[in-house]
């Protein structure tokens, strides 16, 4: 049964009389209701309280009103609540009692956090806020002036504005980040957390104006680095209607960290071809490779170029996020169609954490000539990263290779990411990266970098 169809028993009470009901989720703030034993209730009738049986407990809700309406699934109508705002999504599906006062519980604590913020940081923040507001005002003013022009005239005007004043704004923004680095130079982890939180609350309006920054902060899929954010990064173009928003979207994509992400898209197909050449004489679709935490696997667009080369590879794409796998599938089907090539791809919707718990998964998957993972180890603690690395190593065929990516601790955009994007990753030094090889003995390994020096790669070859 779909969890939306869960039905709860209970009663409503009016002037001391109870009427038995069956209720179900209608919306976050309201419930569908049926009055049992044929009770006829008029539209607008109010009850003093509702009691529902949730997970074997009686839970009481405040005064509610019956709204007669034709509903899906044959309910008589809806109950809306008069004295309190409840979150039925949490109450029914997660069995967590949440009303409006619960979400305000932390308010005093969060408000008091500003007392821990250093005065010089407050000054820095208010200067940034003022300067950005003034820039926005100037750009918005010009946007308004040509708002009534035809689309083509507007586009050309915006392009000129972006190339001239926009570029100056990008440099100005860079300078605010240099000041930020100076301001936070002696902070520890706790200081970064409290000051980052404070900072984002002040610049929230600017964050929301940028499609990229909005997504990294709101994390609609629950984590930073989802396939949509990666697509924006690969696309590296302007998005938004207004010039200021376009600039605020593009600036974070132009960072060296952004280049480092784009570099791996080009690098992976190159390595795949090189490793594949080491295994000559394999049948059609004979070279097996896997991308772990594949996201939308855009790099494969540069691998499956012709019918000849795509028929060499049998590819396995593994990700915990079904939306990312669907995007990967659409992308591959699209190129297969336009380039008139075949492809052999398996999709595995699993988490590396379940992979660690369930050894049978490996037996099902078989072994691979090449396994790579980009943008995953940056989120794994050393104990988990070691276990994942060992499992992946065990999945290699003799002579096969592993290629793992991790951002280096010297990422110059680290605090831009943490303060503006709320994007915190697990940075590693070369030593810490090499330490992950702990339980792997019969391997040849090396560590190297892309040209930005941010994207670090660990290459491991299993002896033949
Ligand atoms: C930063 S993206 C990298 C995507 C792709 N490799 C790239 O370089 O563009 C991270 C991906 O890791 C996936 N991921 C995160 N944790 C995972 C886990 N525990 N198991 C499997 N996939 C995971 C996410 O769903 C997301 O698609």
d(CA 437, CA 130): 49
The residue to mutate among 264, 316, 319, having the most atoms of ligand 1 within 8 angstroms of its beta carbon, is 319
Protein residue closest via CA to atom 14 of ligand 1: 293
Q: How many CB atoms lie within 10 A of CB 439?
A: 11
Please tell me what DSSP assigns to residue 48: S
Ligand 1 pocket by Cβ (under 6 Å): 225-227, 230, 264, 293-295, 319-321, 324, 351-353, 374-376, 379
CA of 60 to the centre of ligand 1 (A): 42
CA of 74 to the centre of ligand 1 (A): 42
From first to last of its 464 residues, the chain has per-residue pLDDT tens of 455 678 999 999 999 999 999 999 999 999 999 998 878 899 999 999 999 999 888 999 999 999 999 876 789 999 999 998 999 988 988 888 877 777 788 889 889 999 999 999 999 999 999 999 999 999 999 999 988 999 999 999 999 999 999 999 999 999 999 999 999 999 999 999 999 999 999 999 999 999 999 999 999 999 999 999 999 999 999 999 999 999 999 999 999 999 999 999 999 999 999 999 999 899 999 999 999 999 999 999 999 998 888 899 999 999 999 999 999 999 999 999 999 999 999 999 999 988 888 877 767 889 999 999 999 999 999 999 999 999 999 999 999 999 999 999 999 999 999 999 999 999 999 999 999 998 898 899 999 999 999 999 999 999 98
Q: Rounded to 5 degrees, what are φ and ψ at 219?
A: 45, 65
CB 316 within 8 A of CB 392: no
d(CA 364, CA 350): 13
Q: State which ligand 1 atom lies nearest to the alpha carbon of 298.
A: 9
């Amino acid at each position: 049964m779909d969890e939306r169809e869960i039905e709860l028993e209970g009663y409503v009470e009016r002037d001391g009389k109870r009427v038995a009901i069956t209720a179900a989720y209608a919306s976050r703030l309201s419930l569908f209701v049926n009055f049992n034993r044929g009770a006829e209730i008029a539209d607008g009738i109010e009850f003093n309280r509702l009691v529902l049986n949730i997970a074997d407990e009686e839970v009481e809700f405040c005064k509610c009103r019956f709204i007669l309406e034709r509903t899906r699934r044959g309910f008589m109508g809806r109950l809306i609540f008069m004295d309190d705002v409840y979150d039925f999504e949490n109450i029914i599906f997660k069995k967590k009692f949440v009303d409006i006062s619960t979400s305000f519980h932390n308010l005093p604590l969060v408000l008091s956090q500003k007392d821990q913020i250093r005065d010089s940081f407050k000054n820095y923040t208010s200067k940034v806020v003022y300067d950005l507001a003034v820039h926005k005002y100037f750009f918005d003013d010009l946007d308004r002036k040509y708002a009534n022009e035809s689309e083509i005239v507007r586009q050309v005007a915006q392009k000129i504005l972006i190339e001239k004043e926009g570029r100056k704004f990008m440099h100005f923004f860079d300078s605010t980040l240099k000041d930020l680095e100076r301001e936070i130079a002696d902070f520890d982890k706790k200081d970064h957390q409290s000051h980052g939180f404070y900072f984002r609350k002040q610049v929230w309006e600017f964050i929301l104006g940028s499609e990229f920054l909005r997504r990294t902060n709101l994390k609609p899929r629950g984590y930073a680095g989802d396939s949509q954010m990666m697509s924006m990064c690969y696309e590296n173009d302007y998005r938004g209607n207004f010039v200021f928003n376009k600039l605020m979207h593009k600036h974070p994509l132009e960072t060296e960290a952004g280049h480092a992400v784009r570099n791996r898209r080009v690098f992976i197909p190159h390595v795949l071809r090189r490793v594949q050449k080491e295994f000559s004489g394999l049948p059609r679709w004979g070279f097996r490779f896997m991308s772990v935490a594949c996201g939308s696997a855009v790099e494969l667009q540069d691998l499956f170029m012709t019918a000849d080369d795509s028929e060499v590879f049998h590819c396995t794409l593994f990700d915990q996020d079904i939306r990312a796998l669907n995007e990967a599938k659409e992308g591959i089907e699209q190129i297969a169609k336009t380039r008139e090539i075949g492809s052999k791809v398996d999709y595995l919707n699993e988490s590396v954490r379940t992979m660690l718990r369930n050894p049978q998964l490996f037996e099902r998957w078989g072994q691979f000539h090449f396994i790579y993972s980009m943008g995953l180890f940056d989120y794994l603690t050393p104990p988990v990263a070691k276990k994942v690395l060992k499992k992946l190593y065990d999945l290699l065929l003799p002579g096969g290779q592993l290629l793992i990516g991790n951002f280096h601790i010297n990422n110059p955009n680290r605090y831009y990411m943490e303060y503006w994007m709320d994007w915190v990753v697990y940075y590693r030094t070369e030593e810490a990266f090499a330490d992950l090889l702990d339980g792997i003995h019969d391997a040849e390994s090396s560590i190297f970098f892309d040209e930005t020096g941010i994207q670090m790669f660990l290459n491991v070859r299993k002896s033949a």
